[in-house]
Amino acid sequence: MRNTRKAVRIDGYKGYGYRQRKEPKTVKAPVCPYCGRVSVLRPAEYVYGENTITEGSLLYVCSGYPGCGAYVGVHEGTKKPKGTLADSELRNKRIRAHRAIDRIVQAGCMSKSGVYIWLSGRLNLPYEETHIGYFSDYLCEETIRECEKVMENWNGNRKQCVA
Ligand SMILES: [Zn+2]
């Protein structure tokens, strides 16, 4: 008899859960900012072929590929894009911006979280929007420039990090 009562309660809970279901479970494929086509989730092999580094990794590739060469990586184990789709030039700049940041952290000048707080201030961006995966060509260039300035000061005066 107890079981019956429990079942009723669970049904009620289910109804409550249904109304609560507001968060989207599926991630929408991002639209290509270059040509306006929608991207498609593909295995990394689709672009890298035999040069794929991480087996099983995914990319959002512009449906105009290879005519349009834009794509972006996906956070491991999810369908969440790492940023906006980028062409080869922007991908290159984002890699260089990441490296510039890594150099500051590796030099011991700033911590990994500290460097992004500093960068958001330098670029006048909210901290939550300070992700290189979303940066434009311009913001990547600014990031590299700002990082180089810091490193020059750091190397010039090893004990003092002038940000
Ligand atoms: Zn495209």
pLDDT tens for 115-139 read 999 999 999 999 999 999 999 999 9
Q: Could you tell me if 104 and 148 lie in one domain?
A: yes
Give me the number of domains the chain comprises: 2
73 alpha carbon to ligand 1 midpoint, in Å? 15
Q: Could you tell me if 80 and 99 lie in one domain?
A: no
83 alpha carbon to ligand 1 midpoint, in Å? 15
Grouping H, G, I as helix, E, B as strand and the rest as coil, residue 41 is: strand
39-68, pLDDT tens digit by residue? 999 999 999 999 998 888 999 999 999 999
61-95, pLDDT tens digit by residue? 999 999 999 999 999 999 999 999 999 999 999 99
Range of the structural domain that residue 77 is part of: 39-85
Q: Would you say residue 25 lies in a domain?
A: no
Q: Would you say residue 8 lies in a domain?
A: no
Q: Could you tell me if 97 and 140 lie in one domain?
A: yes
66 alpha carbon to ligand 1 midpoint, in Å? 9
91 alpha carbon to ligand 1 midpoint, in Å? 14
Q: Could you tell me if 116 and 144 lie in one domain?
A: yes
41 alpha carbon to ligand 1 midpoint, in Å? 14
Phi, psi of 41 (to 5 degrees): -75, 120
Neighbours of 95 (CB within 10 A): 13
Q: Is the peptide bond before 24 cis (omega within 30 degrees of 0)?
A: no
The pLDDT of 155-161, averaged and rounded, is 69
Q: d(Cα 68, Cα 35) in Å, to the nearest integer?
A: 7
78 alpha carbon to ligand 1 midpoint, in Å? 22
pTM here?
0.77
What is the CA 19 to chain-centroid distance, rounded?
31
Please give the mean pLDDT across all residues of the chain: 87
Q: Would you say residue 13 lies in a domain?
A: no
67 alpha carbon to ligand 1 midpoint, in Å? 8
